[in-house]
Amino acid sequence: MTNLEFGLTLTVVGISGTMFILFLITLVIDALNKFFPPGAKGKGE
Amino acid sequence: MNGFANLQWTNGVMIMVGCVLLYLGIKKNMEPLLLIPIGFGAILVNIPLAGMMEPEGLFRYFYEAGVLTEIFPCLIFVGIGAMTDFGPLLENPRILLLGGAGQFGIFLTLLLALLLGFTQLEAVAVGVIGACDGPTAIYVTSKYAPHLLGAVSVAAYCYMAMVPIIQPPIMRALTSVEERKIVMTYKKKSISRSAKVLFPITVTLVTCLIAPMGTPLMGMLMLGNLLRESGVADRLVKASQNEIANIVTLLLGISIGATMAGPVFLKPQTLMVLGLGLLAISLDTAAGIFLAKLMKILSGGKINPLIGAAGISAFPMSARVVQAEGQKANRKNYLLMHAMGANTGGQIGSVLAASVMLSLLQGMGII
């Protein structure tokens, strides 16, 4: 693999992979906030 | 057999560089906890015949025990996790995407480093300066390009301290006056304790199962946060935030300074690393602002693009820079909490970007 191919692969897959995983984390946070709302009995802050 | 007779010009220059780092740390208060031990370590390692980094030298023990084994940066991450409140991020999860955009500079700088003649692993180490995250930069560089550790670490920590100088001109150049005036209201939302406790556990599972090479970094960051949010491990939280973080910071700084011996550090490559590091952070800032502009359009004008600049991992400095720039444009604007969300997102984003990169390198058979 040439340096350019290496760099482009890392850039494209790296950026898209990072953004995709962060998007998954936003879904996880939404799920946590939905299933564990504040003020629920025994689970509130 | 005295030091003066054996002093080379490279040693002399590096002793002066060490003094400059001490000046920046002490007089200018730029990341003093790191720059003072780094600067003094650089002075000591350049004393001829002292053998500080020779086999069985004092610095060699610190370096091999803590840097080559990756223990120091990972322990610092426990402290960072214990100090970080991810509350603003949990209140507005979409802000996390700005933390991703704030890492674009890593990859773009990596490409440029390759074009400038760095090897593949050297380019990865140079690019990771753009993570704006000292422990991550040290972790990656010490493992895959240890001969660049001094230059990368000095660049990472100096530029982190210079964020209030680097970012504002870029922020003003890429946003219009009207955009900077956009008011973002903040209404605190409650987050349940269960959500705060489950957050570090679920993030660890999601990120580490997808990008396993990042487990040491992400795992330690989230362990620190879990200790904090559990509310039942106060002693460990305090130890992580104070004793452990302080001791490791001291030894890590000395170890970085120990890699700054004249013949190793004074090469044209070092200047290129310093220049590319600055470029990486600038590109991070620009990419964050561009994504925030897109979010502004999609939200019907509710997002102030300035908060995109806080997507880098320089916490909490970058958030304060965004707050200051927002106030300059419109005194009624209070962007701090939104910027804090982006900034904590940047912490996760920087570790995640490094994790993805390392996992890719492993998948490609390069490491």
| Of B212, B196, B169, the residue nearest B357 (C-alpha) | B212
**B318/B324 Cα distance (integer angstroms):** 10
What ranges do the domains of chain A cover? 1-36
pLDDT (0 to 100) of residue A42: 46
B110/A11 touch (CB, cutoff 8 Å), yes or no: yes
The total of other beta-carbon atoms located within 10 Å of residue B290's CB is 15
B261-286 pLDDT, tens per residue? 998 889 999 999 999 999 999 999 99
Total-model pTM: 0.91
Count CB pairs under 8 A between chains A and B.
127
pLDDT of res. A40: 54
Chain A residues 1-45 within an 8 A CB cutoff of chain B: 1, 3-4, 6-11, 13-15, 17-19, 21-26, 28-30, 32-33, 36-40, 43-45
Structure tokens at B162: 């210079």
Segments making up each domain of chain B, as ranges: 3-46+83-363
Instruction: Tell me which residue of B68, B76, B216 sits closest to B143, measured CA to CA.
Output: B68
- pLDDT tens string B324-340: 999 999 999 999 999 99
For residues B81 and B282, the answer to whether their CB atoms sit within 8 Å is: no
Residues whose CB falls within 8 Å of the CB of residue B157, separated by 6 or more in sequence, listed in order: B31, B34, B35, B38, B134
